Structures are given as structure tokens and as C-alpha cells.
Amino acid sequence: MNQLDALRQWTTVVADTGDFKQLSVSKPQDATTNPSLILKAVQKPEYRPLLDETVKKHAGKPLDEVIDRLLVRFGGEILSIIPGRVSTEVDARLSFDTAATIARGERIVALYKAEGIDTEKRLLIKVASTWEGIEAARVLEQKGIRTNLTLLFSFAQAVACGAAGVQLISPFVGRIYDWYKKSAGAGWDEAASSGANDPGVKSVRQIYAYYKQHGIKTEVMGASFRNVGQIKALAGCDLLTISPELLAELAASNEPLEHALDAKAAAKGDTAKVSYDEAGFRFALNEDAMATEKLAEGIRAFAADAVKLEKLMLESGK
């Protein structure tokens, strides 16, 4: 049994890609996308026709709607290959606008429904884990729209997401690791900060244990991995979303893989339950320099890629 198959014993494997033609190789249960991955995909010759066709078919419609239609086009292709769910992201430029996030999420759902997709079972709307995004997700969930809260870097964000009843969270292991490594500079000890001691891994383990201890049903999906060591240290997490490159690396290894996280064992902890109102959430996030910086950086990066995608569409429509 290779490590990828071993991982599937305890964890739902999710592919993190816009390159849906690779999915038949890794055979994940679910798949996640984001603006950066879609932008990367449409710059490849084999995917550029999807962008051109979408622009031509919906010429004259608002650009933001055409982008959503492109995202749904990719999502539909992904769902034709995988058995589970696809995550489609709301424009990051709406990360601080609750009402606009709700409206955009509802439109994406409507577009999928128009394609005959069972959105309650097969779609997650991805929303940034800002206070406004979490509140938007609360409303969407109440309407039967399942959500995936992304760009999650702190315990406070995870607590607020659990309280909002979101379907799933995506704590970003690799970006947390990146921040601590950069912050340490020459003093960084890779060996001492790997595996279970990796700061990104530790963050996910803390969240996972807290959810299990307090019966919070929100699924934990580790994301943004830099190496297979981080993945192996989280074997047993509810879900892990993994790049095609790291999926291939796991599939190529037959070394033993240990069961690192266990829900029953985690539930035996005694961490006190925490709750935040808006002011408390904002202060807790502010106190976490890493989370504050990485959340802002992530929103800026996704927003910039959305602008680049718009530019490609405008060029295609000329």
C-alpha cells in the first residue's frame, strides 16, 4: 500500500487544483479551487478555450458574472470526474462585505443549479475567514448553502467558524509555516520544526482537538502544504486538500504511514470552550501577528489574481 492509499484509510483526500485533467490520476474524493489556481489553469493551452468560450457565450454580461460562470464551468468539469464536492470561491475583494458575499454565494449556487448540480451535496462556497465572511457563511448555512471558510490561520477564526455552524474550515498549514520560518530567519531549525512540531501542523491539531472535545460538527480540512511531512503529521484529520505534486509524491512512496490524529482520543481533552463577539474576535486576531499578516496577504493575493483573470477575459472579448 502506498502512502496515499494509507492516508485514505483515515482521511478524506481532496485535490487542490484547477487542472481537472489531473484528477483521474489521483482520484480524490473532493476538490478545491481558488482564483490563483483557476488563473494558472487558463494560462495553459489546454484550458484557455474554456475561458474564451465562456467570454463569447456571455458577451455583454457584467464581468463579475462572467468570472463566476467560468468558475462554475471549471467546477462542473471537476464534478464530472470526482464523486464528492467541489469548493468554489467568492471574489476575495468582497471579504469585508457580508451582504455582497451572501449575494455572490447565492449566485454561484444558482449557476450550479442551472447546470443540474445538486448543490447541497456537491458544492461548498469558499469564503475568507474574516468576521464579515464568517457572518456571511452563517447566513448561507441557514439557507442550506454549505460553506468552506478559507484563509484560516488562527484559533480565533476557527472558534468563530465553529460557532457559526459552517460546514468546513481550511486552516493553511504551509502559510503558517512560511511565516514562522521567515520570522526566525537564520535561527530557524528545520529539523526541530518539522512533523508534529511544525507550527502549521500544531495549529491544525489544536483546532481539531478543540472541535472534537466540544462536539463541533464543522469539518477540519488542512490545506496549503509545503511538503509531505506536514501531510503525514496530520494523517487522520477529517480532510486534507493536497496539490497534485504532493499527491503524486505520496502515491510514489511505500513507506509506512502512521495514524497521527484520532477523533476519539482528541475528544478526551479538557480545553475550555471559548466564544467571541465581534470585538473579541477582532482583538484576538489582532493579537496574533502571524494570522493578521497572512490573512491580509492572502486576500490581497487572491484579489490581485481576480484582477488578472478579468484582464484575460477583457482581452479575450476583443
- pLDDT for 191: 96
What contacts 277, CB < 8 A, 6 or more positions away?
none
Cα 251 to Cα 275: distance, rounded to the nearest angstrom = 41
Q: Supply 155's cell numbers.
A: 484559533
- pLDDT for 132: 98
pLDDT, one tens digit per residue, over 159-205 is: 999 999 999 999 999 999 999 999 999 999 999 999 999 999 999 99
Q: Is 4 within 8 Å of 251 (Cβ atoms)? A: yes
pLDDT of 25 above 90: no
Q: Is the pTM of this model over 0.85?
A: yes
pLDDT, one tens digit per residue, over 31-47 is: 999 889 999 999 999 99
* Greater pLDDT, 311 or 318: 311
Domains of the chain: 3-316 (3.20.20.70)
Q: CA 108: distance to chain centroid? A: 17
| Beta bridge pairs of residue 86 | 31, 123
Catalytic residue IDs: 126
Closest by CA position to 134, among listed 169, 171, 160 = 160
Q: Across all residues in the chain, what is the average pLDDT?
A: 97
Looking at residue 59, its amino acid is A
Cα 285 to Cα 273: distance, rounded to the nearest angstrom = 17
pLDDT of 311 above 90: yes
Cα 127 to Cα 142: distance, rounded to the nearest angstrom = 15
- With cut-offs at 50, 70 and 90, classify the pLDDT of residue 26: confident
pLDDT, one tens digit per residue, over 99-115 is: 999 999 999 999 999 99
| Beta bridge pairs of residue 221 | 239
Q: Is 172 within 8 Å of 193 (Cβ atoms)? A: no
